[in-house]
Amino acid sequence: MNRYRSRTLWVLIILGCLPWSLASADDKSDREEQLPPLIHAHAHNDYEHHRPLFDALDHGFASVEADIHLVDGQLLVAHDRSQVKPERTLQSLYLDPLRARAKKFGGRIYPNGDPTFYLLIDTKSDANETWPVLRKVLRDYSDLLTKFNGGEIESKAVTVVLTGNRPRQLLPNESVRQAGLDGEMPDLDKPNPNGIFLWMSEDWRHFFKWTGKGPFPPDEKARLQDIVTKAHERKMKVRFWDAPQSVNFWSELRGDGVDLMNADDLAGLEKFLRQNSGSSSP
């Protein structure tokens, strides 16, 4: 009898707690959806997180990075060719869930704040072979992706930026496209016809010695500000990879106008940006 009563008590406790647990989860989801997106937060190598894309979305990131390899006609997401898995396609990990989310929120990835969300696609395989396949895939998501028609832009929920083995020669010849290019430092000394370059991304350690500890050397600060000025004149956003991840570093770069903080530490960057109005400042 005692054993029966004990089992009954535990069942009642569990059943009693279940609605509370579900309500708490729903409340948490509602709170997250009400927070404005972090327009300066970029999830570096996003696919290496436990839940690709969704971990970044949970932290409010407005930009994620996916490395792709062309394998047997499929665009597979992984850092190295040896790590690819047939089920981890660009479509299944990123394009399909982003499309579903955009439909949920009326054409936006986040219901509040700036509507722009960036998908940085880093091509690891040959550009000339990969781009025709990628172009076809992107066209299948024309309802989701920003369209570029010459110098005109039709903004949609997601803007694709191509980096790595990008089609530098092929893309500028296409009058209508579903992507723009990620530039490099030499591109800051050239025109940006039809806004083909959307970003300028470089390896921080190739141009700067500062590691985020102590004050930023004045000569390096001046160099960084010059880079930002040139990029913004050409309507390009600035991002650095292989960069330190610390509050002191992020604070300096945001103060100097760098647009995108490159981070593996999603929670750390979210905390910094939310405490420093990173969701809405230009």
CATH of the domain at 186: 3.20.20.190
Query: What number is the average pLDDT over the span 29-45?
Result: 80
Helix (H) or strand (E) holding 151: none
Q: What's the confidence (pLDDT) of residue 182?
A: 98
**Banded pLDDT at 23 (limits 50, 70, 90):** very low
Tell me the residue ranges of DSSP E strands in 141-236: 147-149, 152-154, 158-164, 176-177, 180-183, 197-203
- Looking at residue 114, its pLDDT comes to 79
The gap between the terminal CA atoms of the chain, to the nearest Å, is 68
**Locate tokens 């020669």: which residue?**
169
In a domain, 49, yes or no: yes
Domain count, the chain: 1
212 within 8 A of 240, measured Cβ to Cβ: no
Domain containing residue 48 = 34-275
Q: How many degrees, rounded to 5, is the angle at CA 54 between CA 90 and CA 136?
A: 20
Q: What is the pLDDT of residues 148-201, one digit of tens each?
A: 998 899 999 999 999 999 999 999 999 899 999 999 999 999 999 999 999 999
Residue 9, in any domain of the structure: no
| Residue 19 domain-assigned (yes or no) | no
Give the pLDDT confidence score for residue 8 in this predicted structure.
43
Residue 94 lies in a domain: yes
Angle, vertex CA 121, rays to CA 118 and CA 122, nearest 5:
140
| DSSP-derived pairing of the beta strands 237-241 and 261-263 | unpaired
pLDDT in tens, 193-242: 999 999 999 999 999 999 999 999 999 999 999 999 999 999 999 999 99
Is 201 domain-assigned?
Answer: yes
Domain-located, residue 204: yes
**pTM metric for this prediction:** 0.87
